[in-house]
């Protein structure tokens, strides 16, 4: 992405990614639909929603977009 470039939908909007927490059965517990390629739900907030221990990223390399 170039400096000053607008962050917008990339590609077909019905093919954007997202995060789902499903089950058991046909129960949908959580949905996050990405608005663009950088709009992803942070993994630790998803882990917290399902009651799983969060990941400590302290001291690990950071990838800057």
pLDDT digits over 19-65, tens only?
999 999 999 999 999 988 888 899 999 999 999 999 888 887 777 77
- Structure pTM? 0.61
pLDDT of residue 60: 77
Here the tokens at position 29 are 């517990």
Q: Write out the chain in H/E/C secondary structure.
A: CCCCCCCCCCCCHHHCCEEEEECCCCCEEEEEECCCCCCCCCHHHHHHHHCCCCCCCCCCCCCCC
Whether residue 55 contacts residue 47, with contact meaning beta carbons closer than 8 Å, is answered with: yes
CA–CA gap between residue 44 and residue 53 (Å, rounded): 8
pLDDT of residue 52: 92
pLDDT of residue 58: 85
């Amino acid at each position: 992405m170039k400096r000053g470039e607008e962050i917008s939908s990339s590609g077909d909007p019905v093919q954007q990614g997202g995060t789902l927490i499903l089950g058991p059965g046909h129960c949908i517990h959580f949905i996050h639909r990405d608005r663009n390629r950088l709009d992803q739900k942070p993994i630790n907030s998803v882990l917290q929603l399902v009651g799983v221990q969060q990941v400590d990223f302290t001291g690990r390399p950071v990838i800057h977009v």
